[in-house]
Every structure is written in C-alpha cells, then in structure tokens.
Amino acid sequence: MVNPLSYCKSAAAALLIVAATVAPAQHAHAAAMLPVRIAFSTWTGYGALVVGAQQKVWAKYGLDVSYTVIEDPTARRDALRAGRLDGAATTVDTFSRWAGQNVPMVQIVGIDKSQGGDGIVAKKSITSVKQLKGKTVALNIGSTSEWFFDYVLQQNGMSVNDVHILDLPSSGVAGSTFVAGKVDAAVTWEPWLDRADKVAFGHVLVSSKAYPDIIVDDFGFSPAFIQAHPDVPANFIKGYEDAVSMVKMGDAAAIKIVGKYVGEDAKGVAYDLSTVPLMDLAASKAYFGTSANPGPIYGIAKASANFWLSSKIIRHLPNYGKIIDSSYLEKM
C-alpha cells in the first residue's frame, strides 16, 4: 500500500523537477527575444504597427517590439539620433529630411499610401486654394504637411509667402486648432479631416486624393541597428505582414485596438482606412521595386529631398541607395 505522505512528497518533488526544467526553458526563450524600440505619430495608417505590438505578433519571429507615440517628427528624429529608438514609421519625405540632417534611416517596407487621408481644411467661405492668399494657415513646419502644402500651392501658382503660417507641434494639433475656430485653414490628416468637415463652418478644401503619390509611409531602422542585428528587418516584415492581414480582414480585436489608438469607433477606422489603404507585401514590393528596377519610392524621396534643400531645411541631398533597401522585400 502506498504511503499517502510519501506519495504526496514524491508528487511534489516531481512537480519541482518539472518546474525546474520548464522555468529555465521559458527564461531562455524570453532572453532570446530581441527588444525592438519603435516610434510613430497618431495616424490610422500606423494602426497595424500598434496591433502587432499589442498582440505580440512578432514574438514568433523572436522580436519583442514596443512602441512610443511621438507626434513631433523632429522629436522622433532626435530620439533616433540619441539611440533611444531602433526604428520608426514616417513618410518618405521625412526620411529624406532626416537623412539630410545626418540621421539616415534604412527604409525596408511600405506602410500605407494616403489617398485622401491628408489634406487642407478651410472655412466654407474659402472655396479654392488661391483664396488662401493672405489667410492664416495652421501646420507643422518641417513635417510632411509642409511638403504637401507647398506642393499644392505650387500646383496653383502660389508659395508659402502668399499665406500666414501658424507653426504648431503636429498636424493633429493643426487640425484641432482649426476645429476650435482659431484659424482660417489648416493642413492636417485623418481623423481631423473628417472632424473639420463636420463642423458648421468647415470643409475639406483639397485632399491627397487629388495628389495620391505625394504622401506615402514607410518603416525604417537605423543603420547601426541593422548592422548589429542583420536578421531583424526580414523578421520584422514578416510580423508586420501578419498584423496587416489582421486589420485588413477586419479582426474585431485588431480594429478595437486601432480605434482606441486613434480615438475612433470601428466605423471611423473603416472610413480612415478607405482613404489610407495599408500596403500588403505585394504592394510594398511594387512600391520599392528591385535593385535592378527601382520603384516609385525613389521618385518621391528625390522630389521631397530637393524641396527640403530648396527650403534650407537640409544642407545636403541624401544618398538614396543607403536610405532605401529593397533587398529584404525581394527575398520574401
């Protein structure tokens, strides 16, 4: 007959042995996870990055991705320069600007393409871009909004010298300032375009729907991080593709996460994504092209860099071959 006490002691010992063997394995797995610190602003197009981080989709690729929302692109650049971040999501023109300011990043994958997600909102009495002359326009100087605004003005025979600029910390703040009735117009993005269109005195004067190739978002890592961890870019792309699929399929948990991140309900998120379509792997590959046949990204990078140089925001043009790398996508 088995002694109950001996049995209990044996069982307890067995459990301790199991725990002793499992715990180190779990600890080893956790230790193998590489921390990856990224940042971006509040923008529905970055929603899949938030979903990926919160849902731990990168874990199966050995990455522990954490994110910080940093609205001001200059603050994001400075955090990268100081080594507080490993990577960031932003627009192609911003990557060109950072490179011209000696903070080069290596763009590895496309995020989204603004096809109505950015724009200029104005009072209803202003019905054309030319009527902005002499008006006060809120925007974030040195940001994508400035690049977009200047481009639209040029297309209408104008320049920034024709308007009064109110420089604000971010494009989101510019939108909220307009909605509060404090300026004549603002250069902003979703969800502020939709909010501005709903106030009694406002409307969307022009959006990126009319200029679909101007604002495109990418993700990039610092060259030093890639050099130290050459396998990370490919694994990051794989995890990001998983997160994009979740959002595109309308996964309830994913949409809820995106909604909380941008402060909208599911309907609002769906509307935003109709104006800011997320790039899947195929779209990203087409956008980057190959080393033998470069894609559209190079044209935008060069055009925006020339703008920043002419505006004296940067002092030299970047080496495009070093800030855009299609090789990781080519291997997918």
Average pLDDT in the 122-150 region?
94
Give the pLDDT band of residue 27 (cuts 50, 70, 90): very low
Average pLDDT in the 253-277 region?
93
List, in sequence order, every residue forming a beta bridge with 37; answer none if it has no partner. 66
What pLDDT is attached to residue 72? Answer: 86
The domains of the chain, with CATH numbers, are: 32-114+214-330 (3.40.190.10), 118-207 (3.40.190.10)
Dig out the tokens for 211 from the structure: 């200029």
Which SS3 state, helix, strand or coil, does residue 71 take? coil
What pLDDT is attached to residue 134? Answer: 97
Dig out the tokens for 202 from the structure: 């406002």
Average pLDDT in the 315-323 region?
95
* 216-221/87-91 β-pairing: antiparallel
CA nearest 218: which of 327, 109, 330?
109
CA nearest 111: which of 301, 283, 296, 326?
283
Q: What is the full DSSP assignment across 30-69?
A: HHHSEEEEEEE-S-GGGHHHHHHHHTTGGGGGTEEEEEEE
Calpha distance 133→92 (Å, rounded): 28
Whether the CB-CB separation of 185 and 138 falls below 8 Å is answered with yes
Q: Is 33 exposed, middle or buried (0-12, 13-18, 19+ CB in 10 A)?
A: middle
**pLDDT, tens digit, 9 for 90 and up, residues 157-211:** 999 899 999 999 889 999 999 999 999 999 998 889 999 999 999 999 999 999 8
Average pLDDT in the 137-147 region?
90
pLDDT at 11 over 80: no
Give the pLDDT band of residue 31 (cuts 50, 70, 90): low
CA nearest 147: which of 101, 88, 195, 211?
211
What pLDDT is attached to residue 290? Answer: 93
Q: Where are the beta strands (DSSP E) in 129-250?
A: 136-139, 164-167, 185-189, 202-207, 216-221
* Mean pLDDT value across the chain: 89
Q: For the whole model, what pTM was predicted?
A: 0.79
Alpha helix (H) residue ranges in 203-331? 223-228, 232-248, 252-262, 266-275, 281-288, 297-310, 320-323, 327-330
Calpha distance 128→133 (Å, rounded): 10
Give the pLDDT band of residue 142 (cuts 50, 70, 90): confident
CA nearest 245: which of 92, 47, 70, 105?
47
pLDDT at 8 over 70: no
